Structure 1
Amino acid sequence: MCTQTSTTRSIFSPLSGMALKDELDIVIPTIRNLDFLEMWRPFFQPYHLIVVQDGDPNKVIKVPEGFDYELYNRNDINRILGPKASCISYKDSACRCFGYMMSKKKYIYTIDDDCFVAKDPSGKDINALEQHIKNLLTPSTPHFFNTLYDPYREGADFVRGYPFSLREGVPTAISHGLWLNIPDYDAPTQLVKPSERNTRYVDAVMTIPKGTVFPMCGMNLAFNRELIGPAMYFGLMGDGQPIGRYDDMWAGWCCKVITDHLGYGVKTGLPYIWHSKASNPFVNLKKEYKGIFWQEDIIPFFQGVKLPADCTTVEQCYIELSKQVREKLSSVDPYFGKLADAMVTWIEAWTEVNSSK
C-alpha cells in the first residue's frame, strides 16, 4: 500500500456544519496515472482519496502532487484479505468495492478516471461532490411520488395532495449521478448509436420509488457507507468470470431491495459529470453478452425478492439475499452459485476488516 498525505483546509457543509473532509472518502479504480485529478483539484483536494489499482501490481500509478491518498494494488488486497481476496474482482472496475471496505468514513463518492468536470447550462463548473452531499443529507420520498421531484431542494416543496404523514421522508442511502457527453449505454445500443451524445441537462433530482429496481452506474455515485456500505459489493466480474460490466448494476439491484426493506431511499438525477471516453462496443459486447440474456431472469428475481422481517441489518439482509441468489438463479447458470459464495465471503471480509478498525 502506498500512502501520501498533504495538509488541507477543512471544508464545511452549509447543510450540516461538519467538516466533510473528515466524513467522506473518494474511491477511484484505475489502471493508469490519475492526471484527470488536475481538473477536479478545486473540488477533490481537501478530501482523502482511496485509489484501487487494477491489473499489474508492479505498474507504478502516479497521483498528482498535493492530494491526500492511499493506493492499494492486487498485492495489498491479497495481503489484507488473505483467502477472502477471492471475492474482489480482477481486471474489472468492480475492484473499487475494496476501497469501500477499507474506508473509515461515513460517506463514499466514487468516480471513474475518464470522468471530468461538467458545466451547467450557464457555463459554470458543476461541483458534483457538493450536489451528492446535498442529496445524501436530505431525505428521500420512496413511498409517494412528488411531481415536483425532490421537495427538499430550494424553490420546491410537496405538492397539493401529498400526505402530510409522509413528508418527513426517509434517510437517503444512495445518490446516483448522471453523465453528459457519452451515455452509459450497453454494447448493442452503442453499436446502433455510435455517435449519440447526451447533451440534455435536466435540472432535477428524484427519489426512485419503493419496489422499483434500477440500473445503477458506478462512475458518478455517492452513498452513506454507514447505512448501506456492506451491500455495495460489485460482484465477481472480469478476469476468470463469464461476465463483466454488470458489477455496478448488480450492486444497485442488491442495494435497492435492501434499502426498500430497511426503510432507506435512493435518489437519482443531479449531479452531472462529463464522461469523456466511449469504450469499444465490440469489447463491451464480449463482456456483456451473457448478462444481456441473464438479466431477463435476474431483474424479475430482484423484483420478487422478499426479505424476512428478522433481517434488521444490511449484513443480515445480504446473507439472506445470497441464499436466494443461490436457490433461484443457479438454474440460470452455475456462475450464480459461485457469485452467492462470493457474496458471503464479501460480508465475512467486510466484518473482519471493519471490526479490526
Structure 2
Amino acid sequence: MSGSAFTPILKDEVDIVIPTIRNLDFLEMWRPFFEGYHLIIVQDGDPSKAIKVPQGFDYELYNRNDINRILGPRAHCISFKDSACRCFGFLLSKKKYIFTIDDDCFVAKDPSGKEIDALEQHLKNLLTPSTPFFFNTLYDPYREGTDFVRGYPFSLREGVPTVVSHGLWLNVPDYDAPTQLVKPLERNNRYVDAVMTIPKGTLFPMCGMNLAFNRELIGPAMYFGLMGDGQPVGRYDDMWAGWCMKVISDHLGLGVKTGLPYIWHSKASNPFVNLKKEYKGIYWQEELIPFFQSVSLPKECTTTQKCYIELSKLVKAKLGQVDDYFNKLADAMVTWIEAWDELHPSSGAKSEALPNDLEVFLRCPREESAPRNGIHHVAFNWIRFSSWCLLSVAPLTIFFLHIHLDRDWLPLIVSM
C-alpha cells in the first residue's frame, strides 16, 4: 500500500463482523484498511477462552454468554460451534452496511502486485445499481471504463438498489468436501477483473467469508440458519442465507453483485470433517433448490421481514416433509425476525439506497476513480439517446419531406 494517509470511507456507516474461535492476529494485515472502522467480533465455542485482539482497533467482542444474556429465550436461533454465529453481529449492528470476513482470509494482491482494499470495492458495488432484469455483456456498466452495450434497453439503465456484494477468493477455493477430496491440491490463481449482477430468477451459492450487504434493505433476510452443535448439518449456513436472500431480493426488485473484490483464503479446512458436516446438506440440496426456484411471494409482502415470515411458512409446509429439521429451522426463522424487530423496532425495507452515501464516497480521496452515480449515469444515457434521436430523425424527416414536395429526388440520394 502506498504511504499516503488512508481515509476511511463511510466509516460511520459500516460495521465489520468477524466470527472467530482464535486470537485475531490476522487483523494486523488488514490494519491499513480496517483501522478507523468499527468491528463486531462474535466469539464461537468456549466463552471462557480469552480472545486477543490487536491494539488500535475499535471493536466489541461478544461470546455465547452475551448471546444468551441479550436474546434470552430467543438465543437458540443463533448457531453454536459454527461460523453461522456471525449473524448475531448482524442483529446487533446499527450501521447501514455490514462487511463480514473470516479470520483465515488475508489481504490479496491484484495482478500488478497492489494490495486489494476489499472493503472499498464492496462499497463501490453496493453504492452503484444492479441490473438484474437484462444482462450486460460488459458486466457491471457502472464501473470505470465500461458502459451499457448496444442493444441494452434505455428504460432499464437506471438499475435497482444493490443489497449484496459477494466477493471471491484467491488461493484456496470454496469447494465442497467431495470436490476437496478429488482435488486436494487445487488452488485458484485466476484473478478475473469483473463484477456482474446475478440475474433475477437465478440462485447462486453465497459464501460468507468475503461478503457485504445493505443491512437496512436486506438485513432481516441474512439469517445463517441452524448449524453446528446439536444440528444435523453444517457448512450450509451461508448457502441457506443466500437462497433466502435472493428470492426475497428478486421479489422486492433489489440486486445482488458477485465478482470483485478478492481476498486471499489462507488455508483449506479438513475435507473429512467437512464431509461429515455436509453430507445431509448435499443430499437435501437436490430438493432445496427446486423449492427455492418455485417460491412465489404474494404482492402483500412489501418488506424484507414480511417476505421472510412468508418464506418461513413455505419452508415448514414444503420442506418439513423432507426432514423435521426444516420445521425447527422454520420456527427459528420466525424467532430471528422477532429478535430483529425487537432490536430494530423502526426497521423495514426501504425502496432505495440513500444518495448521501455515494456523495460521501465521491468526496473521499482515493487512489482509483470512484463509481459513477447510477442516477447521473442514466440521465447521461437518456441525453445521449435523445441526441441520437434528434440527429437521426431530423435529417430523415427533411429527406421524406423533400420526396413529398419534389419528385426529382434521385440526385439527392446520390449526393447522400
> How far, CA to CA, are the matches of 2:179 and 2:166 in structure 1?
21
Structure with more helix by fraction: 2
Query: Quick one: which of 53, 66, 70 aligns to 2:56?
Result: 66
> How far, CA to CA, are the matches of 2:225 and 2:82 in structure 1?
10
Asked if structure 2 preserves the Cα contact closer than 8 Å seen for 1:50 and 1:69, the reply is yes
- 1:186 maps to 176
Query: Quick one: which of 130, 134, 143 aligns to 2:133?
Result: 143
SS at match of 1:269: strand
Asked if structure 1 preserves the Cα contact closer than 8 Å seen for 2:24 and 2:54, the reply is yes
- 1:5 maps to none
Query: Quick one: which of 237, 246, 250 aligns to 1:256?
Result: 246
> How far, CA to CA, are the matches of 1:242 and 1:213 in structure 2?
24
Query: Quick one: which of 51, 70, 73 aligns to 1:80?
Result: 70
Please, which runs of 5 or more residues in structure 2 have no aligned partner? 348-416
The amino acid of 1:206's aligned partner reads M
CA RMSD of aligned residues (A): 1.1
Asked if structure 1 preserves the Cα contact closer than 8 Å seen for 2:167 and 2:211, the reply is yes
- Would you say how many aligned residue pairs link Structure 1 and Structure 2? 343
Asked if structure 2 preserves the Cα contact closer than 8 Å seen for 1:10 and 1:21, the reply is no
The amino acid of 1:162's aligned partner reads Y
Cα deviation for residue 10 of structure 1 reads: 8.9
Query: Quick one: which of 3, 7, 14 aligns to 1:11?
Result: 7
- 1:221 maps to 211
The amino acid of 2:184's aligned partner reads P
> How far, CA to CA, are the matches of 1:32 and 1:355 in structure 2?
33
Q: Once the two structures are superposed, what CA deviation does each residue of 1:231-264 show, in whole Å capped at 9, x if it has no partner?
A: 0000000000000000000000000000000010
SS at match of 1:337: helix
> How far, CA to CA, are the matches of 1:265 and 1:10 in structure 2?
30
SS at match of 1:355: coil
SS at match of 1:330: helix
Q: Structure 1 pair 210/105, CA: closer, same or farther in 2 (3 Å)?
A: same
The amino acid of 1:345's aligned partner reads T
SS at match of 2:339: helix
- 1:167 maps to 157
The amino acid of 2:274's aligned partner reads N
Q: Once the two structures are superposed, what CA deviation does each residue of 1:98-137 show, in whole Å capped at 9, x if it has no partner?
A: 0000001000000000000000000000000000000000
> How far, CA to CA, are the matches of 1:263 and 1:32 in structure 2?
39
What is the percent sequence identity of the aligned residues? 84
TM-score by length of 1: 0.95
Matches within 5 A, 1:229-308: 229-308=219-298
TM-score by length of 2: 0.82
Cα deviation for residue 11 of structure 1 reads: 3.5
Cα deviation for residue 355 of structure 1 reads: 2.3
> How far, CA to CA, are the matches of 1:227 and 1:140 in structure 2?
14
Larger Rg: 2
> How far, CA to CA, are the matches of 1:223 and 1:242 in structure 2?
28
- 2:146 maps to 156
The amino acid of 1:63's aligned partner reads V
Please, which runs of 5 or more residues in structure 1 have no aligned partner? 1-8, 14-19
Asked if structure 1 preserves the Cα contact closer than 8 Å seen for 2:8 and 2:36, the reply is no
> How far, CA to CA, are the matches of 1:63 and 1:303 in structure 2?
42
2:299 is the alignment partner of 1:309:
yes
2:12 is the alignment partner of 1:22:
yes
> How far, CA to CA, are the matches of 1:43 and 1:12 in structure 2?
8
Flag as ranges the 4+ runs of structure 1 deviating above 4 A: none
> How far, CA to CA, are the matches of 1:63 and 1:230 in structure 2?
29
Cα deviation for residue 12 of structure 1 reads: 5.5
The amino acid of 1:169's aligned partner reads G
- 1:17 maps to none
Query: Quick one: which of 85, 89, 95 aligns to 1:105?
Result: 95
